[in-house]
Amino acid sequence: MKVSLTVNGKPTSIDAPPDMPLLWVLRDVLDLKGAKYGCGVGQCGACTVHLKGSPVRSCQLPVSALQGAEVTTIEGLSPDGSHPVQRAWDEIDVPQCGYCQAGQIMSAAALLARNPSPTDAQITAAMNGNLCRCATYHRIRDAIHAAAATSAVTPSAPAATTARPRQAGTPRN
Amino acid sequence: MTLDARVDRRQFLRVSALAGGGLLLGTILDFGAGTELFAADAPKVPGGEFSPNAFIRLSRDGSVTIIAKNPEVGQGIKTMLPMLLAEELDVDWTTVKIEQAGLDTVKYTNQVAGGSSATPNHWIPLRRVGAAARAMLVGAAAQTWSVPTAECETSSATVTHRPTGRTLRYVDLLERAATIPAPELDKVTLKDPKSFRIIGTRVRGVDNHAIVTGKPLYGIDVAVPGMLYAVYEKSPVFGGRVKSANLDVVKREPGVRGAFVVEPAGTDLTGLLGGVAIVADSWWLARSARKKLQVEWDEGAGAALSSTSIASNAAALAKQAPQRSLRRDGDIDAALAGAAKVVRAEYFYPFIAHAPLEPQNCTARFADGKLEIWAPTQNPQAARGLVARALGIDEAAITIHLTRGGGGFGRRLMNDYVVEAARIAKETGTPVKLLWTREDDMHHDFYRSAGFHNFTGAVDASGKVVAWRNHFVSFGDAEKFPIATGNPPFAAGAGIGAGEFPARFVPNFALDASVMQQFVPTGFLRAPGSNGIAYATQSFIDELAHAAGKDPLQFRLDLLAGEVPAPSPQQGGLVASRVRGVLELVREKSGWGTQKLPRGTGMGVAFHFSHRGYFAEVVQATVSRVGALKVDKVWVAADVGSQIINPSGAENQVHGSVLDGISEALAQEITIDKGRAVQSNFTDFPLIRMAQSPPVELHWSLTEYPPTGLGEPALPPVVPALCNAIYAATGKRIRSLPLSKHDLSWS
């Protein structure tokens, strides 16, 4: 079936099976590999993208529901990785394997767009649907707080080696 | 023999000038047992770059390229190993570019992500490789100035002549360096750790930018021109094979380019199993066609197995004479007869799956008798061997590119998905990307073996442990699923060593092992063996502490003080002073025993030595009256030697391991029904989520021992520490996992 939608600001037409999820349209039709397949049943959040700014599980959204959709993926979050959430993820060194992180970042960016300085409880509520098999949850939380702080002022990159308050026992040298 | 001693054997560098002035430095490290760690000549690189060895390229634009040799699956090795080279080469990290190596058994050996082994295996050797290249650049500068090399020093890719202050940049020394004789690797001078500028600093992951911008990095992201997509249906019963399949129906489905039956290769159930391959224009179409697939299976021997009764069967087995005695010290029966208190307990833990978030996948292209493979494997050399054997292709005709892996946890030490992709690509003649579904991944794992421990322990009137007996039963079939060298009394991936604690610390000691034959593939899950052994052992030690009326942490310190003299290297290698060090550190940092906790809240402690690392952990947990469990906080004290190479990556590994252990304990279990794994996705095999994740406070204990790895050893102690905390909170002793099966309510 043919549908027209907007992906990362670009009008796009696709012809794909009506039951094909947006995830596979992005990955295998439009060659946008950022959104990831983890479970296929909306349980892990690795496939999270924005639909009109709201985080959705792209593995649960069939082509038949995409006519006129405005989709933003991790590739479209910023032109160069300069979104405060992306910068915070890099600077705080969140990723381990990194596979879930595009989905985590999209959930976090959507949270900060509607709530510029979330509490810990609000972060947990917003992020609890995103699994991280490496369990980088502490740094995800720290990075969201850091992104909230930097987006509130003029963006500037903090030093990469700044120790975070939660860390203890950092070795000498 | 220590690792360092092995490295100290014959080691040398070879240098030969290339036509065109290239600097070629092949490095050979004799790493014991006749194995060459880093061997052979590096190729000359076009474009005016010079390759001092197989790890380093110095470019005329001043950039430095360092090759990351090992598979990256989230353990941070692609960042950490190059740090060792860059440090001794003495270049700025900001100028370094990292390139991922493919499988190359000529240039490199031991390209494996497993056993938390990369740090101990590379700490000295890779630094020597960097230092040797630096020495040649220093030699070139000294020759230019006609001064002794001893008067020269380096910093930031620049050589300085100390007496005169003259400087030369590395980039201006490349040609002359090619003429400098290379030092022998064991003669090079390594930096004093006090002068490290990269090692010991917080270095971010080298792929971070690509990850946060969604660039293709992982196996699942590989795209090859003309590539088709495949799914592969295997028997839901382990080891079954295809009798018949409705291929004609499947072939008529939209986008399907081919569907065929694959016969298993040989009898090895860890490699190419029988099944049906469907190849289509897109993965979604292949998966959709699979829904129309109907297969009649020859289910084989596995269909008889269900796991509902395995714990009770194991309990019966553990009461019988063991299949093998692993260790006998003293006289157990006499000690039990004379003891003040005797404690008996049985512990059980279930099969669990690895569930890395990136499902198994592999891309392969077969053309002109050559096979090219892109795989997120932890063990590419084994993959090549497996493919060669299964498909009858010479290893020399197989190329393996390493992609980043979306988690490994030991699952990707196995290469079943690689040989499947290769087999399908060979049949189709087009490049093929095979991708498993999450359900495939859950149903066809090499599970952590279930385990059962039948303990008897005794304390004397003073509270000292005088007797310990453990009959360990693992579940699996190491002959039908031969992932490791034959070890009859254990399921694959579930061994226990004769020196496993508390061996050597209890005068009357017996360790026995039996295996309960189960037609279930088992394998290596993060901290294999230890992830179950620590739970059972450290929980039972807690029982003995309470029987003795002692504080559980002090009880452990007392137990460690009673070491039987003269441990031999075959006995496990645990150094008691290092365990005491982390126990005392975690006691101090957690405030152990200094505060009165409300009812329903408790602290538990445990320690474990594995993968050369020493970890003591305290968990505080709260259980509501109705039995809702909350893990409040975890304190970790860790001794992995003298140096934390990359504190950022190291903390990540510890935090992740601790939460991973809690995740396993909370609710993870694979059960078997009629030979099939029952659980299929994160709905019934849950991973820990943010809301369940307690703060983790980590403290390093730096000691004089060589640095060791962090992929695994932080995991094992958290499971018993949590269970001991639940006991402290509720009085309920957790003798089986997962916790979700227990009623924790109290009144």
> What pLDDT sits at residue B403?
98
CA distance, residue B421 to nearest chain A CA (Å): 18
Judged by CB atoms within 8 Å, which residues 85-144 of A form the interface with B? 86, 89-91, 93, 95-102, 105, 123-124, 127-141
| pLDDT beyond 50 at B9 | no
Half-sphere exposure for B511 (CA within 13 Å, toward CB): 19
Beta strands in B540-612, from DSSP E residues, in sequence order: 601-610
Buried b vs exposed e over B628-648: b needs ≥16 C-beta within 10 Å? Answer: ebebbebbbbbbbbbbbbbbb
In whole angstroms, give the CA distance from residue B345 to residue B546: 13
Buried b vs exposed e over B494-529: b needs ≥16 C-beta within 10 Å? Answer: bbbbebbbbbbbbbbbbbbbbbbebbbbbbbbbbbb
In whole angstroms, give the CA distance from residue B729 to residue B737: 18
Which helix (H) or strand (E) segment holds residue A94: the answer is: none
User: Is residue B21 left, alpha or beta, with left meaning phi > 0 and alpha meaning psi from -120 to 50?
Assistant: left
CB contact under 8 A, B409 and A133: yes
Q: Kindly compute the dihedral angle of the four CA atoms of residues A44, A46, A52, A54, in this order, to the nearest 10 degrees.
A: 40
In whole angstroms, give the CA distance from residue B507 to residue B465: 8
CB contact under 8 A, A36 and B652: no
Quickly state the pLDDT bin for B300 (edges 50, 70, 90): confident
Q: Above pLDDT 70, what percent of chain B? A: 92
Best residue in A71, A111, A134 for a mutation probing chain B (most B CBs within 10 Å): A134
Cis peptide before A155 (omega within 30 of 0): no
Q: What is the DSSP letter of B36?
A: B
> What pLDDT sits at residue B267?
79
Which tens digits make up the pLDDT trace of B108-121? 989 999 999 999 99
CA distance, residue A68 to nearest chain B CA (Å): 22
CA distance, residue B98 to nearest chain A CA (Å): 17
Pairing of strands B275-280, B256-262: antiparallel
Q: Nearest CB to B438: which of A32, A40, A172?
A: A40
Cα angle value B316/B319/B320 (rounded, 5°): 95
Pairing of strands B56-58, B50-53: antiparallel
Q: Work out the number of other CB atoms within 10 angstroms of the CB of residue A157.
A: 11
Complete DSSP assignment for B618-637: EEEEEE-TT--EEEEEEEEE
Q: Which of B27-36, B497-506, B606-615 has the highest mean pLDDT?
A: B606-615
Amino acid letter, B610? S
Question: Chains A and B: how many Cβ contacts under 8 Å?
Answer: 214
Which helix (H) or strand (E) segment holds residue B581: the answer is: helix B576-590
Best residue in B80, B209, B211 for a mutation probing chain A (most A CBs within 10 Å): B211
CB contact under 8 A, A90 and B652: no
Q: At what angle do helices B647-667 and B530-548 cross, to 10 degrees?
A: 70
CATH code of the domain occupying A84-152:
1.10.150.120
For residue B468, CA distances in Å to B345, B347, B428, B452 come to 12, 15, 59, 16
Architecture of domain A2-76: Roll (3.10)
In whole angstroms, give the CA distance from residue B213 to residue A98: 11
CB contact under 8 A, A97 and B216: no
Which tens digits make up the pLDDT trace of B627-673? 999 999 999 999 999 999 999 999 999 999 999 999 999 999 999 99
Q: Which residues does chain A have within 8 Å of residue B213's beta carbon, measured at their own beta carbons? A: 34, 74-75, 78, 80-81, 86
Best residue in B194, B208, B525, B715 for a mutation probing chain A (most A CBs within 10 Å): B208
> What pLDDT sits at residue B170?
96
CB contact under 8 A, B214 and A17: no
Residue in chain A closest to B222 (alpha carbons) equals A33
Q: What is the mean pLDDT of residues B138-144?
A: 97
> What pLDDT sits at residue B484?
61
Lowest mean pLDDT of B18-32, B261-275, B278-292, name the range: B18-32
Q: Which residues does chain A have within 8 Å of residue B282's beta carbon, measured at their own beta carbons? A: 20, 24, 28-29
CB contact under 8 A, A171 and B659: no
CB contact under 8 A, A160 and B204: yes
Which tens digits make up the pLDDT trace of B448-459? 999 999 999 999
Q: Which residues does chain B have within 8 Å of residue A37's beta carbon, measured at their own beta carbons? A: 220, 359, 435
In whole angstroms, give the CA distance from residue A43 to residue B238: 26
A84-152 has the same fold as A2-76? no
> What pLDDT sits at residue B384?
98
Tell me the helices (H) and strands (E) count for chain B, helix number first.
18, 29
In whole angstroms, give the CA distance from residue A54 to residue B403: 32
CB contact under 8 A, B214 and A31: no
Q: Which residues does chain B have within 8 Å of residue A163's beta carbon, measured at their own beta carbons? A: 202
CB contact under 8 A, A44 and B682: yes
Question: Residue ranges per domain, chain A?
Answer: 2-76, 84-152
Q: Are B715 and B654 in contact (CB under 8 A)?
A: no
User: Is the CB of A157 inside 8 Å of chain B's CB atoms?
Assistant: no
Residue that has been written with the tokens 């369940």 in this structure: B692
In whole angstroms, give the CA distance from residue B353 to residue B699: 30
> What pLDDT sits at residue B519?
87
Half-sphere exposure for B27 (CA within 13 Å, toward CB): 25
Half-sphere exposure for B265 (CA within 13 Å, toward CB): 15
Q: Are B721 and B617 in contact (CB under 8 A)?
A: yes
Residue among A114, A4, A23, A149 at smallest CA distance from A74: A23
Pairing of strands B451-459, B432-435: unpaired
Residue B22 in tokens: 């290239």
What mean pLDDT value characterizes chain B?
90
Q: Nearest CB to A95: which of B211, B214, B408?
A: B211
Lowest mean pLDDT of A27-31, B44-48, B233-237, B330-334, name the range: B44-48
Quickly state the pLDDT bin for A18 (edges 50, 70, 90): very high
CB contact under 8 A, A96 and B653: yes
The ipTM value here is 0.93
Q: Work out the number of other CB atoms within 10 angstroms of the CB of residue B741.
A: 11
In whole angstroms, give the CA distance from residue B7 to residue B662: 37
Q: Which residues does chain A have within 8 Å of residue B357's beta carbon, measured at their own beta carbons? A: 36, 38, 44, 46, 97, 99-100, 131-133
CB contact under 8 A, B406 and A98: yes
Q: Are B98 and B66 in contact (CB under 8 A)?
A: yes
CA distance, residue B544 to nearest chain A CA (Å): 32
Q: Nearest CB to A99: which of B218, B689, B696?
A: B218
User: Is the CB of A168 inside 8 Å of chain B's CB atoms?
Assistant: yes
Residue among A108, A90, A109, A69 at smallest CA distance from A160: A90
CB contact under 8 A, B218 and A36: yes
Q: Which residues does chain B have within 8 Å of residue A24's beta carbon, measured at their own beta carbons? A: 282-284
CB contact under 8 A, A39 and B405: no
Residue in chain A closest to B637 (alpha carbons) equals A169
Q: Is the Cα torsion angle B585, B204, A76, A150 positive or negative in sign? A: positive
The burial class, CB within 10 Å (0-12 / 13-18 / 19+), for B164 is exposed
Q: What is the mean pLDDT of residues B366-379?
A: 97
Residue in chain B closest to A73 (alpha carbons) equals B214
User: Is the CB of A71 inside 8 Å of chain B's CB atoms?
Assistant: no
> What pLDDT sits at residue B316?
87
Judged by CB atoms within 8 Å, which residues 26-65 of A form the interface with B? 28-29, 31-41, 43-44, 46
In whole angstroms, give the CA distance from residue B377 to residue B393: 19
Cis peptide before B738 (omega within 30 of 0): yes
Residue among B176, B154, B181, B150 at smallest CA distance from B167: B154
Q: Name residue A14's beta-bridge partners.
A: A3
In whole angstroms, give the CA distance from residue B664 to residue B495: 19
> What pLDDT sits at residue B51?
76
Which tens digits make up the pLDDT trace of B374-383? 999 999 999 9
| pLDDT beyond 70 at B33 | no
In whole angstroms, give the CA distance from residue B3 to residue A123: 45
Q: What is the mean pLDDT of residues A63-89?
A: 97
Complete DSSP assignment for B178-196: TTSPPPPGGGSPPPPGGG-
List of domains in chain B = 3-199 (3.30.365.10), 219-238+241-298+360-435 (3.30.365.10), 310-352+447-564+572-741 (3.30.365.10)
Q: What is the mean pLDDT of residues B297-311?
A: 83
Lowest mean pLDDT of B184-193, B566-575, B582-591, name the range: B566-575
Pairing of strands B613-623, B601-610: antiparallel
Q: Which residues contact B19 (CB under 8 A, 6 or more apart)?
A: none
CB contact under 8 A, A173 and B663: no
> What pLDDT sits at residue B490?
87
**What 3-state class would DSSP assign to B97?**
strand
> What pLDDT sits at residue B46?
41
Q: Is the Cα torsion angle A115, A117, A119, A123 positive or negative in sign? A: positive
Q: What is the DSSP letter of B355?
A: -
